[in-house]
């Protein structure tokens, strides 16, 4: 029996229009799932308000100069606001792999893969786009609540900073979440890893709820490694100073000083690493 070996791979012609149509179709499916389960979307919209209200009320009687940054006295609710925005983006992004995980378990992922889908990366892009939609609805509600509660109207510079920082956080964390959805065996392991092991420890090991000066030295080191700290401080500095530059100090400790440009560079590098990882796992499993 002769040894038969394919000497070439079958290549399909793909255009931008085809890829966009695939992404739109899979994204519409995710929107349809949300439409059929409105309670899930409602919980996602209420959750950030609960964090904002509960933590804001918990420390509302704290001295006004307790959170003074660069000789500027701010209330805790104003200090907390950037942290809640970034944590909302982080929380939405870290669960973005759940639809893929459930599709794997119920067999729908196999149906998608055997359908005339050319680019398997459309699965990743559609989940990230869907996460953008949910997250920015949450952030919009947070901003409206903050205008009512703190009487602060966000400036154009602040809104731009929020959009840039949340895009970097969502893309990075959502890519890692999708990577876990392809690697982990089931949704129980996925939820245990994301909710119990990653979610809250990442929040408390950042400057979302408290400044670095409140932390012991060992926790300050961990917070400086945590990428959420850089995203939170980028928005916080924009909120406090209104106008910031690439040379604005984001983190200033006895160990090192990190400016705005370095913080953005760190977040971009982490995004590239996470996107490479998720592309590698898709190519390894399904190409």
Tens of each residue's pLDDT in the chain, 287 residues: 444 454 555 455 556 667 778 888 888 888 888 888 878 778 777 877 787 778 777 777 766 555 555 556 677 777 888 888 888 888 888 888 888 888 888 888 777 777 777 777 788 888 889 999 988 988 888 888 888 776 767 778 888 888 988 999 999 888 888 888 888 888 888 888 877 778 888 888 888 888 888 888 888 888 888 888 888 888 888 877 766 677 777 777 767 777 788 888 888 998 899 888 888 887 776 66
What is the pLDDT, as a whole number, of residue 1? Answer: 46
Cβ atoms of residues 133 and 56 within 8 Å: no
Residue 5 lies in a domain: no
Is residue 14, in this structure, part of any structural domain at all?
Answer: no
CA atoms within a 13 Å half-sphere pointing along the CA-CB vector of 166: 29
Does residue 8 form part of some domain?
no
**Total domain count for the chain?**
1
- Comparing CA positions, the residue from 100, 67, 93 lying closest to residue 81 is 67
Tell me which residue range forms the domain holding 98: 19-286
**Are the CB atoms for 148 and 52 separated by under 8 Å?**
no
Is 92 part of any domain?
Answer: yes
Domain assignment of residue 265, yes or no: yes
Residue 258 inside a domain? The answer is yes
Please indicate, yes or no, if residue 241 is contained in any of the structural domains.
Answer: yes
Note whether residue 208 is domain-resident: yes
């Amino acid at each position: 029996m002769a040894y038969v070996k394919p000497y070439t791979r079958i290549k399909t012609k793909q255009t931008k229009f085809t890829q966009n149509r695939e992404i739109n179709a899979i994204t519409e499916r995710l929107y349809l799932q949300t439409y059929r389960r409105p309670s899930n979307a409602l919980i996602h919209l209420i959750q950030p308000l609960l964090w904002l209200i509960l933590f804001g009320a918990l420390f509302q009687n704290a001295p006004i100069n307790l959170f003074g940054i660069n000789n500027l006295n701010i209330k805790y609710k104003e200090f907390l606001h950037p942290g809640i925005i970034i944590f909302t983006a982080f929380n939405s992004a870290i669960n973005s792999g759940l639809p893929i995980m459930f599709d794997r378990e119920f067999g729908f992922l196999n149906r998608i893969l055997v359908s005339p889908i050319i680019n398997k990366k459309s699965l990743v892009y559609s989940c990230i786009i869907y996460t953008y939609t949910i997250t920015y609805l949450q952030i919009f509600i947070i901003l409206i609540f903050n205008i009512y509660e703190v009487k602060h109207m966000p400036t154009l510079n602040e809104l731009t900073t929020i959009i840039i920082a949340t895009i970097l956080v969502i893309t990075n964390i959502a890519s890692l979440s999708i990577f876990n959805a392809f690697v982990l065996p089931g949704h129980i392991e996925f939820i245990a890893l994301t909710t119990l092991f990653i979610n809250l420890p990442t929040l408390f090991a950042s400057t979302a709820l408290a400044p670095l000066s409140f932390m012991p030295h060992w926790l300050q080191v961990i917070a400086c490694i945590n990428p959420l700290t850089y995203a939170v401080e980028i928005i916080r500095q924009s909120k406090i100073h209104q106008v910031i530059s690439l040379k604005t100090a984001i983190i200033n400790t006895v160990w090192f000083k990190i400016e705005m440009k370095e913080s953005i560079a760190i977040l971009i590098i982490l995004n590239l690493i996470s996107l490479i990882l998720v592309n590698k796992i898709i190519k390894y499993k399904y190409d």
